[in-house]
Chain A
Amino acid sequence: MTMTMNNLTQMTRLEVVVPARDAPAIRELITSAGATGYTSVSGVSGIGHHGQHSGALLFNEYDTLTMLITVLPPDNAGELIDAVQQLLSTSSGVMFVSDTYVSRPDYFQ
């Protein structure tokens, strides 16, 4: 495991933005991959391949976008990345993968 500045530990961070109705499948993959947790942000807004997306709707959580963020050790991230890529190959949604650094690595293993 790579140790860098200020004794932080390198991890892999996945951010997945999908329609809320598809979020359960992504959450299931994240937990199956052994990730110890995730952050879910509902009602995210923006502009993408399918046009504009308004943010949170007052009485509809089903037709908005959800962003799921998870962090896990780089060695464990590969299969999850492949699986999410497989799932998003025919449906709308995006995945961002980046290196990140955490102060308490035991929380993510």
Chain B
Amino acid sequence: MNLILRAQVAKAAHAIVPSWPVESFIAVNPLAGHEPRPFETAATPGVVLTRSREAYLADADRGRIVDADLEAALAERVPELAGKLTIGGNSVSAVSVAVLDMKSAQWNSPGATEPSAPWLDEYLATWVSSYLNPDPLWPMPHKQQGFYQAWRALARRDPSLPRTARRTMAELPVEPDAALAWALVQLGVAAEAVTETLRAELQYLPGWVGHIKWRAEKIGDIDLLSYLSVRLTLQAVLDLTPLPSSRKPLIAEEAQTTLWHRAEHVARSIGGSRADRDDIAAVSRVLATHPVPDHELTWQKAYELHYRATLVASLRDTDPFTPRPQLQLVMCIDPRSEGMRRHIEVPPDVETFGFAGFFGVPVRFSRYRARGAVNSLPALLTARHHLTEHPTDPAKADDHIMRGRTRDALRQSTHRADSGAVTPFAFAEVSGWLYGAISVLRTLTPTLQARIHRFLTPSTAALPSNVTIVDAFTLEERAAMAETAVRMMGIGQFAPLVVLAGHASESMNNLYQSALDCGACGGNPGAANARASAAIFNDPDVRALLAARGIDIPSDSFFIAAEHNTVTDAVTVLDRHLVPQSHVHAAQTFDRAQRAAAGRLVKERAQDLPGASPHSPARVQGRAHDWAEVYPELGLAGNAAMIIGPRQMTRGVNLNRRVFLHSYQTELDLDGAALETIMTAPLVVAQWINHQYYFSALNPATLGAGTKTIHNAIGTIGVLAGHAGDLRRGLPWQSVGLGGQLFHEPMRLTVIIQAPLDSIGRIVSRNQVLRNLLDNDWITLTARNDPAAPWRRYTPYGWTAAPTALKGT
């Protein structure tokens, strides 16, 4: 083992963000390695941070960005622009001069570029995908020895490589460490240039490199050292000299417009012919403080400020509902929940809350006697508790499972038949008519086909069962989880019926299905966590411990679990067999209320969904079963803000399903511990999601996955665009845009909190993750102590007045 070389590889890979497999898609900030530094320095090769000048000017034309936004953005970014000056006898503010300049100065948007795919990248991508493919038709020989060793053993017989190279390969060191060291010497890389050379090499194939980093930490069948050993050894054998990365970050270029020309143009537009040389000189001194390369981020900030000021102005302070509510619905902070909450809480005695969709119950979950398990918890946590379920009728469940396994065996054998070398011909002759008929049915009447399929192959999930909370957690752990949830959400009193609704998406033929499921549950459906949480809250022993800690849950309060289907908007009650007779009527009332709310919400969503009509809600819901549909739903497109505070701030306000809503009451969190948990976990997850959408929208070729229509799956690892090349990162284009236009507005997350500013400040100052995000402008924070206090904006130097409602809107 060459420890120094291993340290150099780790150092070179430090800024690379691990990339989760698509089967449990975790939204991440693809530029998270840059978070310790200012946002504006994060541009990397082929990556842009903003939209084009033309896009911002178009926004200015339609009033999406007004002069007041530009002035506010300039005031934040260039505090020196505070004074006034006289041009041609007119007194004007320096900031308005800079605004005129921003609208006239030319700059070229660098534009996100397609990644290059030279021969070496194509070659390596083929080897890596063959090595990692979990379900290959022909397993790679020597795979168990490791990536480098398998390649070394096989590439010697690869006819695509020159004969001389193959002869040299027979002499290569056996161990990857030694091979990499040998290659670096052969390539003439000086000792002090090793890390930089490795870093440059890791810039190529960023999709596979990110996934290998994740895999090395979570699975361990490949690591970056063995990947680099193959890459560098091959270059040495083929005599390809590695060069330090020549791909420089792309920045907006000043299009040959000198400072004097800019100043002259602005001075003449203000003072006309009366503007003289001294006026132009005065203007140029102002404009020198805001050079053209800074314009793009000022436009972006103005774009964000407009949304933020409008959002803050829309917030209300409705009176809390003081009598006991009859129904409480707790949903995930996911912006899609906002629509359901708004539509269902029309009666005053219905209260809704926002909480992380894993309901504070982090588990690894497996269904009854299922093969495998899923980590149903945030990616920020490690699974330590295993939850499963026990059917109420084990004999029936076993019978059900036996039939399911028979169907699986049949499916497996037909899969083998249609993927062999010769068998597909005979298989098509024998069974083609059946599959043809099913395909026609699935294409023309997807909903009917889904019903038939459901009837013929009932899911085990439909069988009554109980989740095993007692086996998974101690009583103390269960009570602690319940107490944490109550204090984080700020529930002061409990309704007779409390519904905990996780969420899941439903679509066909969609490799990115997991990206539409619950992010707080590790890209999985949230039903298991909701069921576990409801069981914990209904546990009399837990309630007794909670009572001792000052949380009294009335004996007539019952918790039920539910799941919100974000394609159909149905909220289905789970574990209905557990609902006591005393609460059956309340559960039925909830059913009716959610059906009515879903009807309204589907019509609302249809206005934004490509190709949908508010007059055909059934067709919107039918997208769940349509195998040709690339827009089953819009997911979290449009996400732009997170509000942490009581529902009274937002109840009755249409937030257009763009805001993460986390309930919080200062009065129930006197030491600020719950607020710290919210700010260091749900807020961080929301920021990961927000930046995933942001960069996938701006860089569909490099940080997004491109169009779904040409995707090919590599097992459950990820997708390729076409048949070869790099593993695609980020979200597909259909998550952020339609045709050539974005429907997602890329804005950095606006965080709004109602809580004591002192508490917020203390939490920020003791958590480096928050300092990085806030001090470096990756997100913004606006807060107020209480409803009567003014809004303040966080800056690294203290709280300052937040921009108020905008002029000119």
Residues of chain A touching chain B, judged by Cβ–Cβ distance below 8 Å, are 19, 22, 24-25, 28-29, 32-34, 50-54, 57-63, 79-80, 82-84, 86-87, 89-92
Q: Are B380 and A63 in contact (CB under 8 A)?
A: yes
- 10 pairs across A/B with beta carbons < 8 Å? A51-B768, A54-B766, A57-B681, A59-B378, A60-B681, A62-B380, A63-B380, A83-B3, A86-B11, A92-B36
B379-401 contacts to A (CB < 8 Å): 379-382
**Complex interface bits, B762-788 against A, C-beta within 8 A gives 1, otherwise 0:** 000111110100000000000000000
> Are B681 and A52 in touch, CB under 8 angstroms?
no
Closest to A85 in B: B7
Does the CB pair A63–B7 fall under 8 Å? no
Q: What residues of chain B lie closer than 8 Å to A24, measured between beta carbons?
A: 216-217
Determine whether the beta carbon of B378 is less than 8 Å from that of A51: no
Confirm or deny: B430 has a beta carbon within 8 angstroms of a beta carbon on chain A. no
User: Cβ of A32 and Cβ of B1 under 8 Å apart?
Assistant: yes
Docked Cα-Cα span, A53 to B360, in Å, equals 23
Question: CB-CB contacts of B355-366 with A at 8 A, as 1s and 0s?
Answer: 010001010000
Interface flags, B3-29, vs A, CB<8A=1, else 0: 110111011011000000000000000
B680 interfacial contact with A, CB 8 Å: yes
Residue of B nearest to A48 (CB): B768
Highest count of chain B CB atoms <10 Å: which of A33, A62, A89: A62
Cα-based distance from A84 to B10 in the complex (angstroms)? 10
A82/B379 in contact, CB under 8 A: no
- Closest beta carbon of chain B to A21's beta carbon, Å: 9
Q: Is the CB of B10 within 8 A of A25?
A: yes
| B676 CB within 8 Å of chain A | yes
A107 to B10: give the CA distance in the assembly, Å.
Answer: 28
A52 to B761, CA, bound (A): 12
Contacts of B4 in A (CB 8 A): 79, 82-83, 86
Q: Is the CB of A28 within 8 A of B379?
A: no
Residues of A within 8 A of B6 (CB): 28-29, 32, 83
Q: Check A86–B8 contact: CB distance below 8 A.
A: yes
Question: Contact: B680 with A59, CB < 8 Å?
Answer: yes
A residues near B223, Cβ cutoff 8 Å: 28
CB of B677 closer than 8 Å to a CB of A: yes
> Binary interface profile of B, 73-115, with partner A (CB < 8 Å = 1, else 0)?
0000000000000000000000000000000000000000000
Beyond the given A57-B767, A58-B484, please list 15 additional residue pairs across the A-B interface where CB-CB is below 8 A: A24-B217, A25-B13, A28-B10, A32-B6, A51-B765, A51-B766, A51-B771, A57-B676, A57-B677, A58-B677, A59-B362, A59-B380, A60-B680, A62-B380, A79-B3
Q: Determine the chain A residues whose CB is within 8 A of the CB of B43 once the complex forms.
A: none
Cα–Cα, bound, A89→B8 (Å): 10
Q: Are B7 and A59 in contact (CB under 8 A)?
A: no
A51: which B residues are within 8 A, CB to CB?
765-766, 768, 771
A87–B13 alpha-carbon span in the complex (Å): 11
Residues of A close to B11: CB separation below 8 A? 86-87, 89-91
Q: Are A63 and B768 also in contact (CB < 8 A) when A82-B3, A87-B7 are?
A: yes
Contact B356 A59 (CB under 8 A): yes
What residues of chain B lie closer than 8 Å to A52, measured between beta carbons? 765-766
- The answer to whether A59 and B677 touch across the interface, beta carbons within 8 angstroms, is yes
Looking at A25, A52, A79, A84, which has the most chain B CB atoms within 10 Å of its CB? Answer: A25
Who on chain A is nearest to B32 by CB? A21
The smallest C-beta distance from B26 to any residue of chain A, in angstroms, reads: 11
Chain A residues positioned under 8 Å from B362 (CB to CB): 59
Instruction: List, in ascending order, chain A residues with CB within 8 A of B681's CB.
Output: 57-60
How far is the CB of B809 from the nearest CB of chain A, in Å? 37
Q: A54-B676, A58-B677, A62-B379 are in contact. Are A22 and B7 (CB under 8 A)?
A: no
A90–B771 Cα distance when bound, in Å, is 19
Q: Would B677 and A33 count as touching, CB distance under 8 A?
A: no
Is B771 touching A57 in the complex (CB atoms < 8 A)? no
Cβ 8 A contact of A63, one of B1, B360, B680: B680
The reply to whether A63 and B769 contact each other, CB–CB distance below 8 Å, is yes
Given the complex, which residues of B lie within 8 Å of A59, measured CB to CB?
A: 356, 360, 362, 378, 380-381, 677, 680-682
In Å, the complex CA distance between A60 and B683 comes to 11
Q: Is B684 an interface residue (CB 8 A)?
A: yes
* CA gap between A57 and B216 in the complex, in Å: 25
Closest to B225 in A: A28
Instruction: Check A33–B768 contact: CB distance below 8 A.
Output: no
Q: Is A54 in contact with B7, judged by CB distance below 8 angstroms?
A: no
Nearest 4 A-B pairs (CB), nearest first? A59-B681, A63-B769, A83-B3, A25-B10
Q: How far is the CA of A89 from the CA of B223 in the complex (A)?
A: 22
Q: How far is the CA of A92 from the CA of B484 in the complex (A)?
A: 32
Q: What CA separation (Å) do A51 and B676 show in the bound complex?
A: 17
* Docked complex Cα distance between A20 and B275 (Å): 60
A90: chain B residues within 8 A (beta carbon): 11, 14
Most buried by B among A32, A33, A80: A32
- Which of A24, A53, A86 gathers most chain B CB within 10 Å? A86
Query: B14: which A residues are within 8 A, CB to CB?
Result: 22, 25, 90-91
| Contact present for B766 and A60 (CB under 8 Å) | no
Q: Which residues of B contact A22 (CB under 8 A)?
A: 14
Determine the chain B residues whose CB is within 8 A of the CB of A29 once the complex forms: 3, 6-7, 10
Mask for B424-459, Cβ within 8 A of A = 1, else 0? 000000000000000000000000000000000000
**Chain A residue nearest in CB terms to B682:** A59
Residues of A near B771 (CB, < 8 A) are 51
Measured CB to CB, the closest approach of chain A to B218, in angstroms, equals 9
Complex: how many Å from CA A52 to CA B676? 14
Chain A residues closer than 8 Å to B765, beta-carbon distance: 51-52
When the two chains form their complex, are residues A80 and B381 in contact, meaning their CB atoms are under 8 A apart? no
Q: Which of B657-689 contact A (CB under 8 A)?
A: 676-677, 680-682, 684
CA distance A109 to B10 in the complex (A): 25
Please pick, from A34, A54, A58, the residue contacting B767 in the complex, using a CB distance under 8 A.
Answer: A54
Docked CA distance A89–B4 (Å)? 13
Evaluate contact between A87 and B10: CB separation under 8 angstroms: yes
Bound: A78/B13 CA distance, A: 23
Query: A84's closest neighbor in chain B, by CB?
Result: B7
**Chain A residue at minimal CB-CB distance from B18:** A21
Give the Cβ gap from B148 to chain A, nearest Cβ, in Å. Answer: 15
Instruction: Find residues 328-380 in chain B having any chain A CB closer than 8 Å to their own CB.
Output: 356, 360, 362, 378-380
Chain B residue contacts of A62, Cβ below 8 A: 379-381
A33 contacts B380, C-beta separation under 8 Å: no
Which residues on A sit within 8 Å (CB–CB) of B8? 86
Q: Is the CB of A33 within 8 A of B676?
A: no
A26 → B minimal CB distance (Å)? 8
Please indicate which of the listed interface residues A24, A29, A58, A91 has the most CB atoms of chain B within 10 Å of its own CB.
A58
In contact, B3 and A33 (Cβ under 8 angstroms): yes
By the criterion CB–CB under 8 Å, are B217 and A60 in contact? Answer: no
Whole-angstrom distance between the Cβ of A52 and the nearest chain B Cβ: 4
Q: A82-B4, A87-B11 are in contact. Are A53 and B768 (CB under 8 A)?
A: yes
Please pick, from A54, A58, A80, A91, the residue contacting B3 in the complex, using a CB distance under 8 A: A80
User: Nearest CB to that of A80 among chain B residues?
Assistant: B3
Kindly list chain A residues whose C-beta atoms are within 8 Å of the C-beta of B36. 92
In angstroms, Cα B1 to Cα A35, docked, is: 13
CB distance from A80 to the nearest CB of B (A): 6
Complex alpha-carbon distance, A89 and B10, angstroms: 12
Q: Within the assembled complex, what's the spacing in Å between the Cα atoms of A85 and B41?
A: 27
